Chain A
Amino acid sequence: MKKVLVVDDSLSVARQLEKIISESGEFTCVGHAKNGAEAIKMNHAEDPDIICMDMNMPGMDGLTALRSLSMLDKEVKVVMVTSLGGVGDKFTEALKLGAKNVISKPFEADDVLKILRDL
C-alpha cells in the first residue's frame, strides 16, 4: 500500500485528506505536517511515496518546501493541494518545481483519489 504524507496548516483539510486516503484502501496516511519545514523532516523519517502539500502555510510555505524536497528526494511524488491552483502562475511554478499535479480546493474525494492513482 502506498504511503502518503499530508502537509497542511489547516486541521480540517488535513482531517479530510487523511479520511479520504485511509478509507480508500489503496493508500495509507503516515502522518500530518503543519508546514514545509515539518514536511521535510517527516519525509526523511517516514519515507512516504506521495506527499499532498498545501501551498499557503505559515512558516515555510509549500513552494519553498517543494523546491527543497525536489533536491533532497528524487523518489517522492509531490501533489500540491491548494486554493491557489487557479492562479496560472502559481500552478505553472508548482509544476516547474517538480509537483506531479495540483488539486484545487475545494476538492472531491474521487478527484483526489484519481490524481493519486495516476501518479
Chain B
Amino acid sequence: MAVKFFGQFLVEKGIVSREALLRAIELQEQKNLKFGEMALAMGYVTPNDIERAHHAQLSRDIKLGDLLVEIGILTLTQLNEVITRQKNNHLYIGEALVLVGAFSNEQLQQHLNEFKADQAPYISERVELPAGIPNPEVWEMAADLTYKMITRILGLPFRAGKCQAVTTVDTNFVMAAMDLSGDQDARFIISVSQGLQKSVAKAILRETSVDNEPQEVLEDTVMEFVNVVCGNIAAKASQAGRIVNINPPITIRPDAGGLAVPAGHTGLCFPILVGDGETMQLVLLIKN
C-alpha cells in the first residue's frame, strides 16, 4: 500500500530473504561503478583529478561529471561516454538476485509483473503548476501522490482545485507540516477543518468513532498522514534519482490573518474540495 522499490517488495512479501537481498546489493555495489570510478576505469581521469574535483565540490552544488567538464579535465563527449557506459553496464537488483541464486530468470519476470501491479496505483499523473516554479516535476509528483493518498488512506471523495501561487496561506483548524530538504528545500503543509480532522483520525486509527479521543491524538493523526505522504514522496523522488529528505512532522498555528509566505519562497496552494462546508488544502512553501 506504499511506494516501494523492487528489493523491498520482495523482502516484505517473503519472496527473498533479507540475507539474499543483502548479497545482491553487495554484488550491485561491486559491479555498478560510480561516475568517478568509471571515468577512472576508462582512463579519462586520474585519482588526482577526482580528488581535486571532490575538493571543489565541497563549496559547490554541482555533479562530479559536470564539474570535471567545467574545469577542463573531461570533454563533453567523454562525459557522455562515461554516462552511457554506466547505463549499459548497470546491474539491476532483479538481475543481481538471479546471479546470487535467489530465483530464476523466469521467476524474475513473474515477480516484476507482480511488483508493477502493486505499484500501479502510484503511477504519476500530470498536475498543472503555475509557470516558473523550480523543479516542477518534483512538486507535480508531490501533489499527485498527496491526492492518491487522500483516496487510498483517508478514503475521502474530493475534487482537486486549480493550483495557485499565493503570498498568504489561509489558516485552518489543524495545520500539519513537514520540512523537506535535499535537492530542494520546502515545507509541505496539509490543513484541515474540524470535521475533516475527525475523518482523518477515523481513517488513521481505523476507528468508527473518535469522539472520545483527546485533541492531542486527533492532531497526531493529521501529522502522521503528512509523515506517510512525505515518506512516499521521498521514495517516489528517489526512483527518479532525486533526493528528498524528511523530518519529523509538526503542527503550526498561524493567527487568524493566515501564514505569510516567507521571503525567498514561492507559496503554492492546492485546494482539495470535499464539500459539506469542510476545507482542506495542500500547501507547498518552496525555497527559490
Contacts and interface: CB of A to CB of B under 8 A. Distances in A.
Interface of A: 9-13, 15-16, 56-58, 82-89, 91-92, 95-96, 100-108, 111, 114-115, 118
B153 to A, nearest CB: 5
B145 to A, nearest CB: 11
Contacts of A16: 204-206
Contact of A102 (B12, B25, B227, B229): B12
Given A86-B3, A101-B11, A106-B1, A10 B234 contact: no
A12 B224 contact: yes
Interface of B: 1-5, 7-8, 11-12, 14, 18, 21-22, 25, 152-153, 201, 204-206, 216-217, 220-221, 223-224, 227-232, 234-236, 238-239, 246-248
B217 A12 contact: yes
B8 A86 contact: yes
Contacts of A12: 201, 204-205, 217, 220-221, 224
B231 A103 contact: no
Given A95-B21, A106-B228, A114-B14, A87 B2 contact: no
Contacts of B14: 114, 118
A57 B25 CA distance: 27
Contact of A111 (B12, B25, B201): B12
A57 to B, nearest CB: 6
A111 B238 CA distance: 24
Contact of B8 (A10, A57, A104, A118): A104
Nearest to B203: A106
A87 B2 CA distance: 11
A57 B246 CA distance: 10
Contacts of B228: 83, 105-106
Contacts of A115: 12
A92 B25 contact: yes
